[in-house]
Amino acid sequence: MELRHLRYFVVVAEMENVSRAATEKLHVAQPSLRRQICDLEDELGVQLFERTGKRVNLTDAGRLFLREARTLLEHTDEVVSKVRPSRRPVKRNYTLDIRRRLGRSCRRPCACFNSKRLRFA
- Structural domains of the chain, count: 2
Contact 103, 116 (CB under 8 A): no
Domain that holds residue 102: 92-121
33 and 61 share a domain? Answer: yes
Per-residue pLDDT band at 108 (split at 50, 70, 90): low
Average pLDDT for residues 91-112, to the nearest whole number? Answer: 57
78: left (phi over 0), alpha (psi -120 to 50) or beta: alpha
Helix axes 30-44, 3-15, angle to 10 degrees: 110
Per-residue pLDDT at 98: 59
Using one digit for the tens of pLDDT, what is the confidence trace for 55-78? Answer: 899 999 999 999 999 999 999 888
Q: Please state, rounded to an integer, the average pLDDT across all residues of the chain.
A: 80
9 and 62 share a domain? Answer: yes
66 and 113 share a domain? Answer: no
Whole-angstrom Cα distance, residue 63 to residue 55? Answer: 16
65 and 118 share a domain? Answer: no
